[in-house]
Amino acid sequence: MFRQVVFFIVDTRASQCYNSATMKTVRCAIRWVGVGLVLLVTACAAPPPAPPPDQMIAQATQKFLRVQSLHFVVEFSGAPTYLDTARTLALRRVEGDIQRPDRMRANLKAALPGAYVLMQAIGIGADQFATNPLNGQWQKIPTEWGFNPALLFDAKTGLGALIGDAQNLAAMPDETIDNQRHYHVRGQIAGEKIAPLTGWLVGTGVVRFETWVGANDGYLRRIRLVDESPTAPTMPGTPMPPAQWNMDFSQFDVPVKIDPPQL
């Protein structure tokens, strides 16, 4: 039986092994089978061509809006993005989780003149809470602190919905994020639509954006906003590069539970 099996493999895979049932023949046949499998896997793994930018953005935003929870990181650079109307706390980094429809928890890093402040924040609907950086106690956030990250991910009015209405879309070269190929698209969004979501931390002029979409899974994994609006909130008389928001998303639909803090 062994001899017959070997002869069958050799006859269909490698003619030079036809007259022998030795171990050399077996290795030869296996080698040819292995080469065929490698070629098959390689062919199946060939990346799909990038769809047109408008189609890509439409599909990615629809998938983004269906996500019920996610992890996010927002980093701020360029002109300061102030958390308060007194312009004393400049945001540097926000990292946390979103639980739709309207719950958020995050760790915030903000800059004071000569120092950094670390805070925690929770948003439950219209109610926002944060830890006092002096004693760590939870308290309700004053109304003048208008930035609620949960608003950025609102299914009806958040970034996902706004990017679906972006203008002047253009495809950029693909990039690799976390060892995965991503499509790269840039365009423009009206700042007047984004400003309310950011507590008016973004100006009302045109805001440039870039987004990265997973080529294999269609998830929107990165958004970059560059606020060059003449109404962007910057320090008077201080030349600065435009404010830039870099947002990364992960852990899509990983369950999270966000409850109000104990005051």
Query: What is the mean pLDDT of the segment spanning 141-152?
Result: 67
Determine the 3-state secondary structure of 29 from DSSP.
Answer: helix
CA 28 to chain CA centroid, nearest Å: 47
Give the Å distances, CA to CA, from 21 to 17, 18, 34, 200.
Answer: 8, 8, 19, 78
Which position has the higher pLDDT, 237 or 210?
210
Query: What is the mean pLDDT of the segment spanning 95-118?
Result: 91
Global pTM value: 0.74
Which position has the higher pLDDT, 192 or 127?
127
With vertex at residue 224, the alpha carbon angle to CA 218 and CA 228, rounded to the nearest 5 degrees, is: 145
Q: How far apart are the C-alpha atoms of 73 and 31, rounded to whole Å?
A: 47
Q: In terms of C-beta density within 10 A (0-12 exposed, 13-18 middle, 19 or more buried), how is residue 43 classed?
A: exposed
Query: What is the mean pLDDT of the segment spanning 61-69?
Result: 92
pLDDT band at residue 41 under the 50/70/90 scheme: very low
Query: What is the mean pLDDT of the segment spanning 101-128?
Result: 90
Of the candidate ranges 3-12, 21-30, 140-149, 237-246, the one whose mean pLDDT is the lowest: 3-12
What residues form DSSP beta bridges with 116?
111
Amino acid at site 256 = V
